[in-house]
Structure 1
Amino acid sequence: MPGPIQSLARAAAILRLLAGGERRLGLSDVASSLGLAKGTAHGILRTLQQEGFVEQDPVSGRYQLGAELLRLGNSYLDVHELRARALVWTDDLARSSGEAVYLGVLHQQGVLIVHHVFRPDDSRQVLEVGAMHPLHSSALGKVLSAYDPVAHSEAAEIKREPLTARTVTDDAAFEGVLDLTRARGWSADLEETWDGVASIAAPIHDRHRMTVGAVAVTGAVERVCADGEIRPQLVAAVRDCARAVSRDLGAGRF
């Protein structure tokens, strides 16, 4: 089994050093505290600075933690707060809808499932926490792409693979789907990701009105739809759940 990478271990040690004590340290302070040559410490600090993990005061020349670390830390906290706030509401949604419920967030070029409530019918099901759903075809992905500019950029860059005969892959048609999603406040996946499976999703916002995730119900298309149309009571239930979680995150009434 390969050992730790020395340069990464040293970078982590520098970040921990800057996170404690005086918070702002000069090159000599960093080098002497960690037993590094000045040239080595300077090289690592410059790399961390280029990546946004470290900032250098232009007057004193001292180093401190950068904004990128704050962004990453907030992302970690946001996911855990989102899941904690959503537990009760997603349980209620699964119980009232009779279908599985997913909570998803943007991750790289897909949707990461951070919470999954099983369909309440005692059938054998597989836990999908940690699974990735596609941005361009899943209801969760389309909602995030419609409301989150970063997700929209990711969806525009990826190659939209036709996962089923119903998957929308054309650029103009996909943008039309996102326009419709924004106009009505929710999105659907009618056998666009998996044959025989349909989903309805709505966005979740935080106190800053930023889209931090989405919630969806997923089930067999014959249960989610009636006479070829999505059941309006399911749409209402998903949107109510998304609003409730958003309010718990401080978004207020909307």
Structure 2
Amino acid sequence: MATKRPSSVQAVKRAVAILKAFTSEEPELSLADLSKRLALPKSTVARLLGTLEEDGLVAKDPETGFYRLGVELLRLANNVHIYTDLRRIARPHMRRLAEEVGESVSIAVLQGNDVVNLDVYVPPGHLVKRVGWAGRQMPAYATAAGRAILAFLPKDERLQHLEGPFQAYTSKTLIDPKRLRLELQRIRKQGYATAFEELEEGLHAVAAPVFNYEQRVIASLSVSGPGYRLTRTRVQEIAPQVVEVALAVSAEMGYRPAN
């Protein structure tokens, strides 16, 4: 009988268990050590270690044959640190902007083809369900928050996000790749993005990009609200404030505009 291969979920759980086996007290472990601790055959552990090593998540000492955590984990940990800093830095600016404009303010980052809210500040008396919540995932192309990021990505990355196909969430969702490309060009020129009922009926938004010390876009700051209150005219009125606050957050993230 052929040996049954582990499911994808089981393989992931085992790989995570390998990474968690390393500690500050025991930063290096042998194949035999890991096999014993995880109660798995050496062949299974060796296969998983090989995959983790290819991705830089573990490294093997060529002399001793012992394994240790790889440098790729440092990069991943740094990303978590950046997001934590971004949320901490943005929070007081978000609160001030929300109080000035009377609408909810969000800070979001790009993950794949979606944007995810890192934090949301909702003025007292407003409904969170109309503007999202921390952790909410939304399609980047159909939101002001997402397009404010997409527009300022390097050209090759930007084009990848314009390949489609795109789903229409409302009758007003922009799904034509050519029109989306032109919209991103407009956003780059004016410095902010808008969306009117493209993700949800009755929901309007305006967003501006947030940059880091490398002058790379890392997030967007947006104001969202119901269209009867956050009208198209009102969006144009507060857009400069959104850009100003996004630049203030960028400055605290080390951004300095190029001369």
Task: Report the TM-score, using the length of structure 2 for normalisation.
Answer: 0.80
**Root mean square deviation, CA, Å:** 3.0
The residue aligned with 1:205 is 211
In 2, are the aligned partners of 1:199 and 1:216 still within 8 Å (CA)? yes
AA of the residue aligned to 1:15:
L
Q: Distance in 1 between matches of 2:247 and 2:80?
A: 22
Q: Distance in 2 between matches of 1:70 and 1:155?
A: 27
Alignment of 1:99-118 (within 5 A): 99-118=103-122
In 1, are the aligned partners of 2:192 and 2:206 still within 8 Å (CA)? yes
Distance 1:171 1:31, change over 3 A: same
In 2, are the aligned partners of 1:99 and 1:217 still within 8 Å (CA)? yes
The residue aligned with 1:65 is 69
Give unpaired runs (5+ residues) of structure 2. Answer: 1-8
Q: Distance in 2 between matches of 1:21 and 1:96?
A: 51
Q: Distance in 1 between matches of 2:229 and 2:41?
A: 66
AA of the residue aligned to 1:180:
R
In 1, are the aligned partners of 2:220 and 2:246 still within 8 Å (CA)? yes
Question: What's the CA shift for 1:104?
Answer: 0.9
Question: What's the CA shift for 1:9?
Answer: 5.0
Between stretches 168-177 and 191-200, larger displacement belongs to 191-200
The residue aligned with 2:4 is none
Distance 1:154 1:84, change over 3 A: farther
Question: What's the CA shift for 1:134?
Answer: 1.7
The residue aligned with 1:16 is 20
Give unpaired runs (5+ residues) of structure 1. Answer: none
* 2:251 counterpart SS class: helix
Q: Deviations over 1:75-97 (max 9, x none)?
A: 22222221111110000010111
Question: What's the CA shift for 1:195?
Answer: 2.6
Alignment of 1:75-154 (within 5 A): 75-120=79-124, 122-126=125-129, 128-149=133-154, 152=158
Between stretches 93-102 and 142-151, larger displacement belongs to 142-151
Q: Distance in 2 between matches of 1:68 and 1:11?
A: 15
Q: Distance in 1 between matches of 2:187 and 2:28?
A: 47
Question: What's the CA shift for 1:28?
Answer: 5.3
* 1:175 counterpart SS class: helix
* 2:59 counterpart SS class: strand
Q: Distance in 2 between matches of 1:72 and 1:106?
A: 15
Q: Within the alignment, does 1:192 sit opposite 2:198 as a pair?
A: yes
- Identical-pair percentage: 29
Between stretches 32-41 and 163-172, larger displacement belongs to 32-41
Q: How many residues get paired? A: 247
Q: Distance in 1 between matches of 2:190 and 2:86?
A: 23
